[in-house]
Amino acid sequence: MWIVRLALRRPYTFVVAALLVLILGVVTIFRTPTDVFPNVDIPVVAVVWQYGGMSSDEMENRIVTPFERFIVTTVNDIDHIESQSLNGTGVVKVFFQKGAKIEEAMSQVTATAQTAVGRMPPGTQPPLVIRYSASAVPIMQLSISSDTIPEQQLFDVTINQLRTQLITIPGVLIPFPYGGRQRQVMVDLDPDKLRAWGISAQEVSNAVSAQNLVLPAGTAKIGDQEYPVRLNSSPDVAAQINDMPIKTTRGTVVYIRDVAHVRDGFQVQTNVVHAGGKRSVLMSVLKQGNASTLDVVSAVKAALPAAQAQLAPEIRDNLKIEVMFDQSLFVRASVMGVIMEAAIAAGLTALMILLFLGSWRSTLVVIISIPLSILVSIIVLSFAGYTLNVMTLGGMALAVGILVDDATVEIENIHRNLHQRKRLVRAILDGAQQIAVPAFVATLCICIVFVPVAFISGAARFLFTPLALAVVIAMMTSYLLSRTLVPTMVHYLLASEVEMYGGELDPDDPHAAGALEHKRHHTTGEHDATGWERFRGWLRKPAARIGLMVGVAAVVVLMFALRSMAVSGSLPWLADAWQGIAGWIAESPLRAALWVIAIGLSIALLVFISRYMLIWRVHFAFNRQFERMRRRYGSLLNWTLDHKLGSTAFFAAIVLFSCVLLFPIVGQDFFPTVDAGQLRLHVRTPAGTRIEQTEVQFARVTAAIRKLIPAKDLGEVIDNMGIPNSGINLALSDGTLNSPAEGEFLISLKEGHQPTEDYIRLLRKELPRQFPELVFYFQPPDIVTQVLNFGLSSPINVEIAGPLRNDKQNREIAKQIMNDLRGKPGITDLRIAQVTSAPDFRVNVDRTRAAQVGLTQRDVAQDLLISLSGTLQAAPNYWMNPATGITYNVIVQTPQYRIDSINALENMPIQPPGDGQGTAAEPQLLGNILDSLERSTTASNINHQNILRTSDVQMNVFGTDLGSAAKHVREITAKYESKLPKGSKITLRGQVESMSSSFQGLAIGLIFAVALVYLLMVVNFQSWLDPLIILMALPGAAAGILWMLFATGTTISVPALMGAIMAVGVATANSILMVTFANDLRKEREGITAREAALSAGMTRLRPVLMTAAAMIIGMLPMAVGHGEGGEQNAPLGRAVIGGLLLATVTTLFFVPVVYSALKRRSPKVHVEPELRDPQDPYAKPHDSESALQPQVAHAS
């Protein structure tokens, strides 16, 4: 091949290219963000509407539903719309089609929202429009607490000083803090004084709005000067608002202080957080986009001391900031676990190759292709915008076993050519040419089998596309290296081993001069040269110079990488070790130098012993045993070929048995469960419970949790109850904190804890028994499951959607479905997401009586809104603190403790409008114009799917696989399909929906990939039959995968299917090896039968087939064990590869020859192409070389 000749002519070019890849790869690693998962870039825009005091059903009918209809008529490329309506807040999430540009989507949604404001109720403020991403998950929690600082000041410091310092960190997304009390200026109305003075809440609000304002007075030009004129429109001290007049009544000026009290207070608290057993403010730190979790967490931790130092001394000295639930620890451990798996796999693979080849030089040539291929993959993925994560690194670890195959097969084929007494250069050229096409076809086959990834939809597509790309890029790079760098290194490193393989050195080859000189010295007895002269002679060898260059560069790059990781703190253990080593060297440089020399001499001695004693002995012993095994294999294959019918029936029985019996037993999951050592427990108190009582209940539950989980395992406990302080928090979360009666616990376990599932099982059993009035269910705490759930709080969500008229019937059906699912194996934490039994009051105004006293419905509504919810929505007013420049809301409101009974509600004064001639009407009590005041119930949260109201039955899966649980759910829901009212429908959502679509996409894609592989092989073999014979190994791979998953208790999941895809590719490549060699034998030898060719192919190609399978299986062993943090994620992948290859290899070695001998009875037509050579090319084949028709020795994968 021309590229091999080029590599032999210009070796330094490719060595330098390898060094550049090494350097650029290391630099890229440190510049590429690191995370646990790739960025799930599904375009979603969230719109948050807020209207204080508005009930959930009014929020739905007046704001959310009209806006949804605006969206569907004006915005393009919508996939679906979800919404949630709560008391005072509405969140609408618009999901866009794949490929939609998020910037255009944001613009369209924002423009629509601004237009829709004019159609909303009076006082509606423009909404917040933010981008939502499944990857925007909490990566750490910051607890801010103090024993002396009040809660409102604590919240104020957090949001206005700490948050503003941290939000500038790249990749950080910080919503409003949880807990605390939101500071504002409160004008607390006194209903008794209002009645006494005949003043309404509306009049007080009008007075504050008219006299506390920001309005410039302009400028005045007096004499030669120009003066800005400032008016005392807004007081410098909030307490001065007390002195603002309201109106003159009976000749007396009534001030605000006469009917109210102005104080520096806080809004009505709807959210309470406890951390460490006391009230705290919780700041949740999220990462966004492709930002690195490790970098974001490190940057936040580094910025905290500086941010805290800027606080006032009395605040700084009494403020305690704690980092809790640091997800970077899990991410770092998961990434390092995958790296260690890949490193162990590479080491084991190297030992296996050394065992087969028996040459450390050949092994070195093979092993060098692993890091170079992986580094090229990292470089390409980084430039494509991907992060370093468990999926991309898992793909590289998956490819470790197969990356050595191109180089291994080429070296093994060069050895075979050397055994034919060829010169080194000729052996390299012939060996490379003979396997060029089969190697390329086999590599393409492995790459093509990853086509199914393109058919996956949803979040899984973003997770597994980088994995597939990592494998494909590494495989193509490995093939390119086998055409360039491998021949170059073989030319240098194997020169001294040529005669051992029976080959010859070319005297005209300048690169073999060193080996010839070494041979001359040994044959003529010239050993009188000094050691220095021999060393200088060794340095003259190109191989020595290249080795030194590569070695020095590798050591420098490695030391630079280790030091960078130590200094950056990305590896804490390495930082500690680095400091220890530096201190040890500084303490005694001479001692350190002596230790280095001693270690170097020990390594040299070990290499000498291994080279001249251990390696060859083990290699020869292994070869003897392998040769015995090969003969036994030949006898068994011969017997199998004599009993084609029986062996075929046996193989078919195994495959059918596996598929029919094992497939239903193995079970199905979307993704393996990861034990991150965290629990997230949701607690629902009786509907309508006020936040203060919810806090009492949570304190009791906290005490129970601390008793149930022993102190040796229990880490941190945080509770978060009530509605968050901002709708942004609802938009960026799963929206389960939707009323003061609900909350959740975040529980972390210490390192070395018992399995998290044990404590989940314990809490699930004990807490409902101790607190029967409360509802408990678990939610995903780890970032892995949160990403996979994509905003939903459960893996299975039975959604019954329909028009508003069907809501009551839909809810009854939801209750029946929930009751039918109770007791089904594996289904737990059953609940209906919507709470519809929250108590409320219905104020029915007698419009006739109201009109008689000059009141309208608007007057009543405005006064009630001001008294009960404040003036923030109807008449927003602000006061700026001159000392800090921070603006706070000024709220006119009746304190909650004064509205403590129905009688107090009825005695609220309502102010009629004046007569238009300056005469104010007397306020009227609410009770005087009431028709009735009724107790009723309402929904505390309302959900929509594509504008239709939904009733959602949510559940968790525990103790079984997701597929089995989904089967039970489908059986139950199928019975109610016919009972649904017209216009309603039942849909399964959550992970079960993603699993179904992913499995379906993978199945379609796998069929398509197999068809592509078949057509590719048709082109290569120029035959329709040969590719069919090759594909006979695939049923064996499928059966092996099922057996391995069954034996290890692993379910079928998307990672397992990715492993199955890899196993299919390698099995196909091995079958290509067998069939190609058999065909070449029949072309070379006239009259040989298909049976004889199949037998000979099996005997001859047993070693490369087993080398390929063994390299892949050994490379997958560390991954299959699933040890370490997050090891559960990729364990099914490794197990599927091992199981598939074990049985696929047996199928390739036995069943494929049987099928070949049965179907290939006709003799092949031999077609010899004329050889084209350059007579001036010293690397071209001579006239008297071997036949132009070279046996197409196959590629081991």
CA distance 51 to 871: 11
The pair phi, psi for residue 921, each rounded to 5°, is -80, 155
* pLDDT computed for residue 591 by the predictor: 58
**Domain covering 183-266+839-938, topology:** 3.30.2090
* pLDDT computed for residue 1167 by the predictor: 47
CA distance 42 to 374: 28
* pLDDT computed for residue 615 by the predictor: 61
Q: Tens digit of pLDDT for each residue in 259-278?
A: 999 988 888 888 999 988 88
- Nearest of 746, 803, 740, 821 to residue 778 by alpha carbon: 746
Crossing angle of the two packed helices 1054-1084 and 1131-1146, in degrees rounded to 10: 30
Which of 537-541, 579-583, 1124-1128, 1176-1180 is the least confident region?
1176-1180
Residue, of 807 and 1126, whose pLDDT is higher: 807
How would you class 1050 by CB atoms within 10 Å of its CB: exposed for 0-12, middle for 13-18, buried for 19 or more? buried
Q: How confident is the model at residue 1182 (pLDDT cuts 50, 70, 90)?
A: very low
Flag whether the pTM goes above 0.85.
no
CA distance 95 to 80: 5
CA distance 519 to 695: 88
* pLDDT computed for residue 1175 by the predictor: 47
1171, pLDDT greater than 50 = no
CATH of domain 43-132: 3.30.70.1430
Q: How confident is the model at residue 704 (pLDDT cuts 50, 70, 90)?
A: very high
CA distance 24 to 675: 35
Residues 6+ apart with CB under 8 A from 826: 957, 958, 959, 960, 961, 964, 965, 968
> Which CATH superfamily includes the segment(s) 682-781?
Multidrug efflux transporter AcrB pore domain like (3.30.70.1320)
Question: Are 283 and 144 in contact, with CB atoms under 8 Å apart?
Answer: yes
Which of 796-800, 1092-1096, 1128-1132 is the least confident region?
1128-1132
Cα distances from 308 to residues 161, 362, 601, in angstroms, run 9, 59, 53
Q: How confident is the model at residue 1179 (pLDDT cuts 50, 70, 90)?
A: very low
Look at the block and give the residue holding tokens 């290890």. 1048
CA distance 1077 to 850: 100
Residues 6+ apart with CB under 8 A from 393: 335, 338, 339, 342, 470
Q: How confident is the model at residue 367 (pLDDT cuts 50, 70, 90)?
A: confident
Look at the block and give the residue holding tokens 């074990």. 1142
Residues 6+ apart with CB under 8 A from 205: 866, 871, 874, 875, 892
DSSP letters spanning 659-670:
IIIIHHHH-B-S
Mean pLDDT of 3-32: 83
582, pLDDT greater than 70 = no
* pLDDT computed for residue 555 by the predictor: 56
Residues 6+ apart with CB under 8 A from 933: 841, 842, 843, 844, 902, 905, 906
Task: State whether the Cα torsion 807-813-816-822 is positive or negative.
Answer: negative
* pLDDT computed for residue 1186 by the predictor: 38
Q: Tens digit of pLDDT for each residue in 616-658?
A: 666 677 778 878 888 898 888 888 888 888 888 888 888 888 8
* pLDDT computed for residue 1085 by the predictor: 77
CA distance 375 to 447: 18
CA distance 973 to 505: 77
Which tokens hold the place of 185? 């200026």
Cα distances from 940 to residues 86, 226, 241, 481, in angstroms, run 6, 58, 36, 64
332, pLDDT greater than 80 = no
CA distance 1036 to 658: 10
Cα distances from 540 to residues 490, 537, 545, 799, in angstroms, run 18, 5, 7, 76
Q: What residue segments make up the domains of the chain, in order of their start?
A: 43-132, 183-266+839-938, 682-781
CA distance 33 to 386: 8
Residue, of 481 and 424, whose pLDDT is higher: 481
341: DSSP letter? H
Residue, of 385 and 915, whose pLDDT is higher: 385
CA distance 51 to 876: 12
265: DSSP letter? E
Mean pLDDT of the chain: 81
Could you give the percent of the chain with pLDDT greater than 70?
84
826: DSSP letter? T
Look at the block and give the residue holding tokens 């080029």. 6
Q: How confident is the model at residue 1194 (pLDDT cuts 50, 70, 90)?
A: very low
Mean pLDDT of 351-367: 75
580, pLDDT greater than 60 = no
Mean pLDDT of 819-843: 90
* pLDDT computed for residue 25 by the predictor: 86
- Measured in Å, how far apart are the chain's first and last C-alpha atoms? 20
CA distance 1189 to 516: 32
CA distance 428 to 764: 67
561, pLDDT greater than 60 = no
CA 1148 to chain CA mean position, Å: 37
Check if 43-132 and 183-266+839-938 are the same fold.
no
* pLDDT computed for residue 814 by the predictor: 94
Mean pLDDT of 216-233: 86
Which tokens hold the place of 81? 């719309």
Mean pLDDT of 212-230: 86
Which tokens hold the place of 588? 């005694």
Q: How confident is the model at residue 985 (pLDDT cuts 50, 70, 90)?
A: very high
Q: How confident is the model at residue 545 (pLDDT cuts 50, 70, 90)?
A: low
